[in-house]
Structure 1
Amino acid sequence: MTRRTPPRPLDVEQLFPEVAPLRRRAVRLHPRAGAPTCRDSSVGGPLLWPLEEPWPVCPDHHRSPMVPVVQVRAADALGLVPFPAGCDLLQVLWCPRRHDGCWVVPEVHWRDAAAVGAVRAAPAVVGEVPYGKIPRPCVVHPEPVEEYPSWDLPDELYDLLEPRFEQVEAETGWDYQYHLSTAPGTKLGGYPGWCQDPQWPDCSGCGQRMDHLLTVESWEADAASRLTWTPLEDQGVRYEGAGLMLGDAGGVYLFECRRCPGRPVKDRFDCS
């Protein structure tokens, strides 16, 4: 089923023209509980993993196997995230167990789906795992949306716009941060779904700021953002998502450097 995010309830660029140059496009994945196959884009679904390739394991937990988190085919990235040459599949896994100083340890893999013959099934997860770290298998419904920075607004621009943000909210009830700027939920590209101050990483190789690749959030929308970001098809309907709980309803954000060989990756985590 198609998922269609309603238009913003106000014209953001008319009210706040200063944010127009900062507009970005993201792909909301809209994960919904289902039965994806290893050849589908999914959240928490089976991966198209070659039988001859060892399954990733966590070096910190007696080589405990990592779990599938996201798989996206290039066609479902809708041209908004560049894939490496010769690759049409993005795969993300993480270790769901507790780690000192971080909530999960993720890995990112790119591959050519057509080159995969026999497929390896994910190993069973053995032992106790903290609640909400293994996503429920979900089909996805990719949708491009336009975003404007929320927490990523430069300080001087926020200071300039804050009086207008407050005036618009007082007159209309719509809050720039929750209702007008950055799409919540699991998504490709666009702006990270920060709960707190941004923590953009720089590449260890070239020293430049890395690009946002993927946000994986606990919820597809909280009570505030749900008012304007719930797809038309889901309004008034109860649905099951990925069932994640990352810290106190936080998110994991993956970044990559598209300039350096191998597209190095870093991750960040925050919660409310």
Structure 2
Amino acid sequence: MIRTTPPRPVDVETLFPEVAAYRKEAIRLHPRAGRPGVLDSSVGGPLLWPAGEPWPHCDDDHPETGRAPDGPGPRPMVPVLQLFASDVPGLPFPEGTDVLQLLWCPFDHKPHYTPRPELRWRGTVASAGDMAVAPWVEDAVDEYVPEPCLVHPERIVEYPCHDLPEDLHDGLAERFDRLRRDTGWSYQYHLSVAPGIKTGGHPGWTQDPDWPDCAECGERMEHLLTVDSAEFDGESWRSWLPAEDTPRTGTVRDLPYEERGRIQRAPGLMLGDMGGVYLFLCRRCPGMPYDYRADCS
């Protein structure tokens, strides 16, 4: 089933033409509970992973004050996201690949006290034969292991909020406030950056931006994808809730807790306190090195 984000409730570029130069396209993935297979784009589903290829493990030291394994020894990483190029046009797949896979260690890692992610790029044609089954991690943090979900990609337009140049943000602050007073619409929550799991666009920071620089060339990396704890929160649902998920009567906040959760947090993730993990890469350098950041509210 498709998911359709409603049009912005006001014309952003007419009200704030200064932000038009910073517009970017993103693809909201809208994960919803399902039974994905290895040839499906998914969150928390099985991966196109040849049985003869070693499964990645994490043998890092985990912080004693965080959510750590019950004992010593490496732990298998868990599947988080698989995306096929046909479902996410515009994603920068390296030559010869058409599948992006994200796995992470389902325990806390310094410095962000969130899972540590790893990216894999592979080609569908090169993957043949029997597929591996992800090992079970008995002591994994439940909120770090996503439930299997199919995705419903949707291309949208975003405008930055926290990533606006400081002088521009300060210059627009009074107009942002006036819009909120006059209409109830917030630039930050309703008009700028989409919440939820997505590719491209702008990171949905809940704290100050923390862009990584490439360790090889020293230039700032670009945002590849965001894994967020929720599709929306208590404020942003007013403009980012898909039309297909809008109740016939009342609002999504009036739904029973479990029913609302199937829309708001279908994968069951909780990263910190409604936070997110952000993946970045550098297309200038061979091998497209990547890095990550995380934050929470």
Structure 2 regions of 5+ residues with no counterpart?
61-71, 253-258
Report whether the alignment pairs 1:211 with 2:222. yes
Per the alignment, residue 137 of structure 1 pairs with 148
Matched letter for residue 90 of structure 2: L
What SS does the corresponding residue of 1:156 show, helix, strand or coil? helix
* Identity percentage of aligned residues: 57
Q: Which contiguous aligned blocks of 4+ residues in structure 1 show a shift greater than 3 angstroms? A: none
Report whether the alignment pairs 1:98 with 2:108. yes
Report whether the alignment pairs 1:10 with 2:21. no
Map 1:1-272 onto structure 2 (within 5 A): 1-60=1-60, 62-77=73-88, 79-102=89-112, 103-117=114-128, 118-126=130-138, 128-236=139-247, 238=259, 239-240=262-263, 241-272=266-297
Question: For the Cα contact (< 8 Å) 1:43–1:69, is it kept in 2?
Answer: yes
| Number of residue pairs the alignment of both structures matches | 270
In 2, distance between residues paired with 1:14 and 1:6?
Answer: 18
In 2, distance between residues paired with 1:178 and 1:47?
Answer: 34
What SS does the corresponding residue of 2:144 show, helix, strand or coil? coil
Structure 1 regions of 5+ residues with no counterpart?
none
In 2, distance between residues paired with 1:120 and 1:111?
Answer: 15
Matched letter for residue 109 of structure 1: R
What SS does the corresponding residue of 1:20 show, helix, strand or coil? helix
Deviation at 1:50, TM superposition (A): 1.0
In 1, distance between residues paired with 2:156 and 2:73?
Answer: 41
Question: For the Cα contact (< 8 Å) 1:25–1:80, is it kept in 2?
Answer: no
1:92-120 Cα deviation digits (max 9, x unpaired): 00001122323111100000012111211
205-214 or 117-126, which deviates more: 117-126
Matched letter for residue 55 of structure 2: W
Question: For the Cα contact (< 8 Å) 2:41–2:150, is it kept in 1?
Answer: yes
